[in-house]
Structure 1
Amino acid sequence: MSELLNFGKEILAKQPFSVLLGAELTILDRGNAELVMKIDNHHRQQHGFVHGGVVSYLADNCLTYAGGSVLGDCVTSEYKINYVRPALGAKLTARASVVSSGKRQAVCQCQIFCHEGGEEKLVAVALGTIAKVDLPT
Protein backbone atom coordinates (compact mmCIF):
# COMPACT_ATOMS: atom_id res chain seq x y z
CA MET A 1 0.00 0.00 0.00
CA SER A 2 1.36 3.43 -0.92
CA GLU A 3 2.30 6.08 1.61
CA LEU A 4 -0.30 8.45 0.12
CA LEU A 5 -3.06 5.84 0.40
CA ASN A 6 -2.09 5.12 4.01
CA PHE A 7 -2.21 8.84 4.78
CA GLY A 8 -5.61 9.15 3.09
CA LYS A 9 -6.99 6.25 5.13
CA GLU A 10 -5.79 7.96 8.34
CA ILE A 11 -7.65 11.12 7.34
CA LEU A 12 -10.82 9.15 6.50
CA ALA A 13 -10.69 7.47 9.92
CA LYS A 14 -10.76 10.97 11.50
CA GLN A 15 -13.99 11.91 9.68
CA PRO A 16 -16.84 10.78 11.96
CA PHE A 17 -19.45 11.05 9.19
CA SER A 18 -17.37 8.90 6.82
CA VAL A 19 -16.91 6.31 9.58
CA LEU A 20 -20.65 6.37 10.30
CA LEU A 21 -21.46 5.69 6.64
CA GLY A 22 -18.79 3.00 6.34
CA ALA A 23 -16.79 4.55 3.49
CA GLU A 24 -13.46 2.95 2.55
CA LEU A 25 -10.67 4.62 0.59
CA THR A 26 -9.33 1.99 -1.83
CA ILE A 27 -7.23 4.06 -4.25
CA LEU A 28 -5.31 7.27 -3.73
CA ASP A 29 -2.49 8.24 -6.01
CA ARG A 30 -1.52 11.51 -7.65
CA GLY A 31 -4.64 12.86 -9.34
CA ASN A 32 -6.92 9.87 -8.64
CA ALA A 33 -9.07 8.54 -5.82
CA GLU A 34 -11.61 5.77 -5.25
CA LEU A 35 -14.05 5.41 -2.36
CA VAL A 36 -16.18 2.31 -1.83
CA MET A 37 -19.18 1.93 0.44
CA LYS A 38 -21.32 -1.08 1.30
CA ILE A 39 -25.02 -0.23 1.26
CA ASP A 40 -27.29 -1.08 4.17
CA ASN A 41 -31.03 -0.46 4.53
CA HIS A 42 -30.44 2.73 6.54
CA HIS A 43 -28.73 4.26 3.46
CA ARG A 44 -31.92 3.94 1.39
CA GLN A 45 -34.89 6.23 0.84
CA GLN A 46 -38.58 5.29 0.68
CA HIS A 47 -38.39 3.69 -2.81
CA GLY A 48 -35.46 1.46 -1.87
CA PHE A 49 -32.90 3.54 -3.81
CA VAL A 50 -29.72 4.68 -2.09
CA HIS A 51 -30.47 8.17 -0.77
CA GLY A 52 -29.19 10.97 -3.00
CA GLY A 53 -27.37 12.47 -0.02
CA VAL A 54 -25.31 9.30 0.34
CA VAL A 55 -24.39 9.34 -3.35
CA SER A 56 -23.58 13.05 -3.07
CA TYR A 57 -21.40 12.46 0.01
CA LEU A 58 -19.32 9.92 -1.94
CA ALA A 59 -18.89 12.35 -4.84
CA ASP A 60 -17.91 15.25 -2.56
CA ASN A 61 -15.38 13.27 -0.54
CA CYS A 62 -13.88 11.48 -3.55
CA LEU A 63 -13.49 14.77 -5.46
CA THR A 64 -11.68 16.23 -2.46
CA TYR A 65 -9.35 13.24 -2.14
CA ALA A 66 -8.41 13.50 -5.82
CA GLY A 67 -7.82 17.26 -5.48
CA GLY A 68 -5.93 16.81 -2.23
CA SER A 69 -3.56 14.36 -3.89
CA VAL A 70 -2.14 17.27 -5.92
CA LEU A 71 -2.85 20.26 -3.63
CA GLY A 72 -2.29 18.92 -0.13
CA ASP A 73 -4.73 19.93 2.62
CA CYS A 74 -7.92 21.10 0.91
CA VAL A 75 -11.69 21.45 1.04
CA THR A 76 -14.48 21.42 -1.52
CA SER A 77 -15.12 24.93 -2.84
CA GLU A 78 -18.10 23.87 -4.95
CA TYR A 79 -19.49 20.88 -6.79
CA LYS A 80 -22.36 19.89 -8.99
CA ILE A 81 -23.87 16.45 -9.31
CA ASN A 82 -26.09 14.87 -11.94
CA TYR A 83 -28.02 11.75 -10.98
CA VAL A 84 -28.44 9.54 -14.03
CA ARG A 85 -30.22 6.49 -12.55
CA PRO A 86 -31.37 5.24 -9.15
CA ALA A 87 -28.63 3.62 -7.09
CA LEU A 88 -29.50 0.03 -6.25
CA GLY A 89 -27.47 -2.95 -5.13
CA ALA A 90 -25.16 -3.67 -2.22
CA LYS A 91 -22.20 -1.38 -2.94
CA LEU A 92 -21.30 2.02 -4.36
CA THR A 93 -17.96 3.00 -5.89
CA ALA A 94 -16.88 6.59 -6.53
CA ARG A 95 -13.90 7.30 -8.81
CA ALA A 96 -12.50 10.81 -9.12
CA SER A 97 -9.69 12.36 -11.09
CA VAL A 98 -8.11 15.77 -11.46
CA VAL A 99 -9.02 17.51 -14.71
CA SER A 100 -6.87 20.61 -14.14
CA SER A 101 -4.93 22.01 -11.20
CA GLY A 102 -2.96 25.08 -10.20
CA LYS A 103 -1.32 26.26 -6.99
CA ARG A 104 -4.54 27.00 -5.10
CA GLN A 105 -7.31 24.93 -6.68
CA ALA A 106 -8.07 21.84 -8.73
CA VAL A 107 -11.04 21.01 -10.92
CA CYS A 108 -11.99 17.36 -10.52
CA GLN A 109 -14.55 14.97 -11.97
CA CYS A 110 -16.16 11.96 -10.34
CA GLN A 111 -18.32 9.06 -11.47
CA ILE A 112 -20.36 7.05 -8.97
CA PHE A 113 -21.36 3.47 -9.76
CA CYS A 114 -23.68 0.99 -8.06
CA HIS A 115 -22.99 -2.72 -8.17
CA GLU A 116 -26.12 -4.52 -9.24
CA GLY A 117 -26.50 -7.99 -10.72
CA GLY A 118 -22.75 -8.50 -10.98
CA GLU A 119 -22.10 -5.35 -12.99
CA GLU A 120 -21.30 -1.68 -12.39
CA LYS A 121 -23.93 0.84 -13.41
CA LEU A 122 -23.29 4.58 -13.56
CA VAL A 123 -25.62 6.40 -11.15
CA ALA A 124 -24.15 9.91 -10.96
CA VAL A 125 -21.53 12.24 -12.37
CA ALA A 126 -20.06 15.16 -10.44
CA LEU A 127 -17.71 18.05 -11.20
CA GLY A 128 -16.11 20.08 -8.45
CA THR A 129 -13.57 22.73 -7.55
CA ILE A 130 -11.25 21.83 -4.71
CA ALA A 131 -9.42 24.63 -2.84
CA LYS A 132 -6.15 24.46 -0.94
CA VAL A 133 -6.44 25.20 2.78
CA ASP A 134 -3.87 27.38 4.50
CA LEU A 135 -4.32 26.96 8.24
CA PRO A 136 -2.99 29.74 10.46
CA THR A 137 0.25 28.84 12.22
Structure 2
Amino acid sequence: MHKGSCLCGAIRFEVTGPLRPPDACHCSRCRKQSGHFWASTDVSRAALTIHGADRLTWFRSSEKVRRGFCSTCGSVLFWDPLPKDTIAIAMGAFDAPTETRLAMHIHVADKGDYYELGDGVPQNPH
Protein backbone atom coordinates (compact mmCIF):
# COMPACT_ATOMS: atom_id res chain seq x y z
CA MET A 1 0.00 0.00 0.00
CA HIS A 2 1.13 3.53 -0.82
CA LYS A 3 0.02 6.53 1.21
CA GLY A 4 0.14 10.26 0.70
CA SER A 5 -1.47 13.59 1.50
CA CYS A 6 -1.81 17.24 0.69
CA LEU A 7 0.54 19.75 2.32
CA CYS A 8 -1.67 20.44 5.34
CA GLY A 9 -2.81 16.84 5.80
CA ALA A 10 -6.53 17.59 5.48
CA ILE A 11 -6.69 15.14 2.57
CA ARG A 12 -4.97 11.77 2.84
CA PHE A 13 -5.11 8.90 0.40
CA GLU A 14 -4.12 5.26 0.10
CA VAL A 15 -3.45 3.19 -3.02
CA THR A 16 -3.51 -0.59 -2.82
CA GLY A 17 -1.05 -2.45 -5.01
CA PRO A 18 2.05 -1.30 -6.87
CA LEU A 19 2.23 2.06 -8.61
CA ARG A 20 2.58 2.26 -12.37
CA PRO A 21 5.67 4.09 -13.63
CA PRO A 22 4.80 7.80 -13.67
CA ASP A 23 5.02 10.23 -16.54
CA ALA A 24 5.75 13.94 -16.55
CA CYS A 25 3.37 16.14 -18.52
CA HIS A 26 4.73 19.42 -19.91
CA CYS A 27 1.51 20.76 -21.50
CA SER A 28 0.60 24.36 -20.71
CA ARG A 29 -2.41 23.40 -18.56
CA CYS A 30 -0.37 21.07 -16.34
CA ARG A 31 2.41 23.66 -16.07
CA LYS A 32 -0.06 26.37 -15.02
CA GLN A 33 -1.71 24.03 -12.53
CA SER A 34 1.48 22.77 -10.91
CA GLY A 35 3.83 25.71 -11.36
CA HIS A 36 6.31 23.62 -13.38
CA PHE A 37 5.36 20.27 -14.89
CA TRP A 38 3.00 17.58 -13.63
CA ALA A 39 4.41 14.17 -12.64
CA SER A 40 1.79 11.55 -11.84
CA THR A 41 0.91 7.88 -11.82
CA ASP A 42 -2.37 6.40 -13.02
CA VAL A 43 -4.20 4.12 -10.60
CA SER A 44 -7.46 2.24 -10.74
CA ARG A 45 -10.29 4.11 -9.03
CA ALA A 46 -11.01 0.91 -7.11
CA ALA A 47 -7.45 0.96 -5.68
CA LEU A 48 -7.76 4.53 -4.34
CA THR A 49 -9.21 5.49 -0.96
CA ILE A 50 -9.50 9.20 -0.12
CA HIS A 51 -9.84 10.45 3.46
CA GLY A 52 -10.98 14.05 3.93
CA ALA A 53 -12.81 14.15 0.60
CA ASP A 54 -14.96 16.96 2.00
CA ARG A 55 -11.86 19.19 1.62
CA LEU A 56 -11.31 18.10 -1.99
CA THR A 57 -12.33 20.68 -4.60
CA TRP A 58 -12.65 19.79 -8.27
CA PHE A 59 -11.90 22.17 -11.13
CA ARG A 60 -13.25 21.13 -14.53
CA SER A 61 -10.31 22.16 -16.75
CA SER A 62 -11.83 20.75 -19.95
CA GLU A 63 -14.80 18.78 -21.18
CA LYS A 64 -12.95 15.52 -20.44
CA VAL A 65 -10.83 16.32 -17.37
CA ARG A 66 -11.21 17.62 -13.84
CA ARG A 67 -8.38 18.41 -11.43
CA GLY A 68 -8.64 17.88 -7.68
CA PHE A 69 -6.99 20.05 -5.03
CA CYS A 70 -7.17 20.66 -1.31
CA SER A 71 -9.50 23.55 -0.48
CA THR A 72 -7.42 24.36 2.61
CA CYS A 73 -3.79 24.41 1.43
CA GLY A 74 -4.23 24.37 -2.37
CA SER A 75 -2.16 21.23 -3.01
CA VAL A 76 -2.99 19.77 -6.41
CA LEU A 77 -3.47 16.03 -5.96
CA PHE A 78 -5.52 14.48 -8.76
CA TRP A 79 -5.99 14.63 -12.52
CA ASP A 80 -9.24 12.86 -13.34
CA PRO A 81 -9.95 11.87 -16.98
CA LEU A 82 -13.73 11.46 -16.98
CA PRO A 83 -15.22 8.85 -17.32
CA LYS A 84 -12.24 6.46 -17.36
CA ASP A 85 -11.62 3.79 -14.72
CA THR A 86 -8.30 5.37 -13.73
CA ILE A 87 -7.25 8.57 -11.99
CA ALA A 88 -3.81 10.21 -11.90
CA ILE A 89 -2.20 11.08 -8.57
CA ALA A 90 0.59 13.64 -8.15
CA MET A 91 3.89 11.89 -7.42
CA GLY A 92 4.93 14.66 -5.04
CA ALA A 93 1.96 13.91 -2.78
CA PHE A 94 3.09 10.35 -2.00
CA ASP A 95 4.94 9.51 1.17
CA ALA A 96 8.29 7.91 0.24
CA PRO A 97 9.25 5.41 -0.96
CA THR A 98 7.17 5.06 -4.12
CA GLU A 99 9.34 2.25 -5.53
CA THR A 100 8.99 3.54 -9.09
CA ARG A 101 10.84 5.72 -11.62
CA LEU A 102 9.72 8.22 -14.23
CA ALA A 103 8.88 6.39 -17.47
CA MET A 104 8.25 9.20 -19.96
CA HIS A 105 7.98 12.92 -20.57
CA ILE A 106 4.82 13.80 -22.51
CA HIS A 107 3.73 16.94 -24.38
CA VAL A 108 7.34 18.11 -24.56
CA ALA A 109 6.54 20.16 -27.69
CA ASP A 110 4.63 22.45 -25.30
CA LYS A 111 7.21 22.53 -22.47
CA GLY A 112 8.41 25.75 -20.89
CA ASP A 113 11.38 27.51 -22.47
CA TYR A 114 13.13 28.02 -19.13
CA TYR A 115 14.29 24.41 -18.62
CA GLU A 116 15.87 21.52 -20.49
CA LEU A 117 15.22 17.80 -20.24
CA GLY A 118 18.45 15.90 -19.86
CA ASP A 119 17.56 12.93 -17.68
CA GLY A 120 17.62 10.35 -20.49
CA VAL A 121 13.94 9.46 -20.02
CA PRO A 122 12.01 9.01 -23.33
CA GLN A 123 10.25 12.11 -24.61
CA ASN A 124 6.97 12.23 -26.52
CA PRO A 125 6.17 15.52 -28.30
CA HIS A 126 2.41 14.92 -27.76
Tell me, yes or no, whether TM beats 0.5.
Answer: no
In proportion to residue count, which structure has more helix?
1
The TM-score with structure 2 as length reference comes to: 0.27
Q: Which has the higher strand share?
A: 1
